[in-house]
Chain A
Amino acid sequence: MIQVRNVSKSFGRVQAVRDVTLDIAKGEFFSLLGASGSGKTTLLRMLAGFEGVTSGQIVVDGQPMEAVPPHHRPINMVFQNYAIFPHLNVRDNIAYGLRRLGLPKARQDEMVAEMLEMIALPGYGERRATQLSGGQMQRVALARALILKPKVLLLDEPLGALDKQLREQMQLELRLLQQRLGITFVLVTHDQEEALTLSDRIAVMAKGAVVQVDTPAGLYERPKNRTIAGFIGSMNFFTSTVHRQGAAEVAVEGLGRIGMNGHDDGRPHGAAATVAIRPEKLTLTTQAPGGRAVEGVVQARQYLGGRHMLHVGIPGRETPVAVALQDVGADMAPGQPVWVSWKDDAILILDAD
């Protein structure tokens, strides 16, 4: 549905977007995730047509977009602060884009009523837009965009202004709505959790460039760098060095040498690297297990609702290692000596940064 080809954007000497190439499929819920200044909003504004591209090409539904002004693009947008027209009531806000279509009044009213139904605000048509709560404005902004049946809906941090509970509710509603309508959604957010819960795929952006494009599970299982690895859940990071004398191995702080096996991505001998292991990929036993293991002492224990997080101090490493366990006996208390073990495929080898 959307092809972004080598798109760059400069504002004067500042390069906001660098050589971004993306393919977004029809009906996909796609997120651009990044900190402020990562270029995600600029990219979204280029899709909407509010900013031109400095170089590269954007194609929507087979049609190159460079000569198409915002008001002729088959794209609608939900703005960050909703941009609800304060001088119009809810109905006129939702019907705003219909004027150009020249539909009969009755048909327009019918469409607005359908939209009000969809956003669960029936009977709100005559309300003044300024009387709405944040969540209601958000819904009106959605209805106003969706009434035009766009091929693509852009959402610029649409839930940023809402409190946590409402945000979670709206996330679910957005996801259900998108699945029902089958419209391509492109969401911009700085909230990793939001991107992960909503999206089919996520493009992680930093410093204007796309760092990784993957499914939420892919980002979790195969993060490209430390930052992405730290996005969701917890992660143990170990300072490490690559060894290639004999077998390809990494010397991991506190854990000793571990064979790279399937994780070998060709880093040279002596290179600094970071080894990352998820807390749930580590196991604790009070007896020495058969395979590779290191000895440590439980330092703290947290209950996280349904699972426990144990922090185990191991020799040769300052920070305790976090281990997530479903069932833990009462004996796993602080001061208990334990063995920490892992499977070979538990490790991820990342850049040292």
Chain B
Amino acid sequence: MAERELFYRPNRGLAVYALGFTALLYIPILFIPLFSLNAGLYQRFPLEGFTLDWYAQLFTRGPVFDALLNSLQVGLSVAVVSTALAVPAAKALSRTVLPGKKPITGFIMLPLIVPGLVFGVALLVVISRLGIPLSLYTVALGHVVICLPFAISILLPRFEGANHSLEEASADLGENGWWTFWRVTFPNILPGVVASLLLTFTVSFDEFIMAFFLSGTDPTLPMYIWTQLRFPQSFPSLLALSSLILITSFALVFASLWFARLGRTANPINR
């Protein structure tokens, strides 16, 4: 009891640390939307008044829309492909009797910690050796590699939390493995699939390093931003664009986390 109280007592020092930590993470990012609404061309204090001009200007730039379209195409395909690949992988990894399960899981999760630069260069070498021209396809390929661990880490708990007697019940009622998957397993992991689609889309949509190495002539949105950084006049509208990307990404990640948890706590049958 005493121990419990010790651990659950409010801890002022810890609270201050947590606040400081959060501030350090988010305050620099908050400058982006702040300056995107600033009337001045340069990012400095004092602010020179409120404006939405930079946002309006975005709509007049054709290349922004081309880049956005490219990013959407890549993001959607990457989300679908990496989630589709992750579903059977996570299902296999969730089996209790898979030999070498831990090393395999570790291996699949590797892209999370290998620097994007290393992967980018490695893929570039392989792709150019094979004589494949760089394009949005090669960007998507790179993105699938880095998105797979995200997809698997979202789907794996879904499979592991699944009630295996549901699949046995399906088999018992006459359905084979294929139909059991589509009639029982898939509907029960569906929130995880949606979460994985949202997260992998976001990761791809925001990704720069792979795109930098593997794009051909068509830039993704982060690539476009990078190429425009040289021009001071366009910087405020880049901030506006970045703000929009930021907000969208936040929304998608929150939605993804919400879906990932959906039905995992409230369902009395899935205990």
Contact = CB atoms under 8 A, between A and B. Distances in A.
Given A83-B166, A130-B269, A77 B188 contact: no
A100 B267 contact: no
Nearest to B165: A83
B175 A99 contact: yes
A79 B174 contact: no
Contact of A86 (B170, B173, B269): B269
Interface string B175-200: 11001000110011000000000000
A183 interface: no
B174 A71 contact: yes
A70 B168 contact: yes
Interface in A10-51: 48-50
Interface in B254-271: 263, 267-271
Contacts of B267: 86, 130
B169 interface: yes
Contact of A50 (B168, B176, B271): B168
Contacts of A89: none
A70 B177 CA distance: 11
A80 interface: yes
Interface in A279-320: none
B172 A48 contact: yes
A100 B176 CA distance: 10
Contacts of B171: 49-50, 69-71
Contacts of B175: 71, 96-97, 99-100
A129 interface: yes
Contacts of B166: 83, 85-86
A148 B168 contact: no
A46 to B, nearest CB: 13
B174 A84 contact: no
A83 B173 CA distance: 12
Given A83-B163, A83-B166, A100 B174 contact: yes
A87 B188 contact: yes
B174 A83 contact: no
A75 B187 CA distance: 26
A77 B268 contact: no
Interface residues of B, number: 23
Nearest to A101: B174
A75 B172 CA distance: 7
B180 to A, nearest CB: 8
A81 B188 CA distance: 17
B168 A97 contact: no
B149 to A, nearest CB: 28
Nearest to A154: B172
Contact of B269 (A50, A77, A84): A84
Contacts of B188: 86-87
A321 interface: no
Contacts of B270: 86
A137 B271 CA distance: 15
A131 to B, nearest CB: 10
Contacts of B163: 81, 83
Contacts of A341: none
A129 B269 contact: yes
Nearest to B166: A83
Contacts of A50: 168, 171
A77 B188 CA distance: 21
A99 B180 CA distance: 12
A100 B180 CA distance: 12
B173 A145 contact: yes
Nearest to B177: A71
Given A48-B172, A70-B168, A71-B171, 9 more contacts: A69-B176, A80-B165, A83-B163, A84-B269, A85-B166, A87-B188, A130-B267, A144-B169, A145-B172
30 contacts: A48-B168, A48-B172, A50-B171, A71-B171, A71-B176, A76-B173, A77-B169, A79-B168, A80-B165, A81-B271, A82-B269, A83-B163, A83-B166, A83-B168, A85-B169, A85-B184, A86-B166, A96-B170, A96-B173, A97-B173, A97-B175, A99-B175, A100-B174, A100-B175, A100-B179, A129-B269, A130-B267, A144-B169, A144-B173, A148-B174
Interface of A: 48-50, 69-72, 75-77, 79-87, 96-97, 99-100, 129-130, 137, 144-145, 148
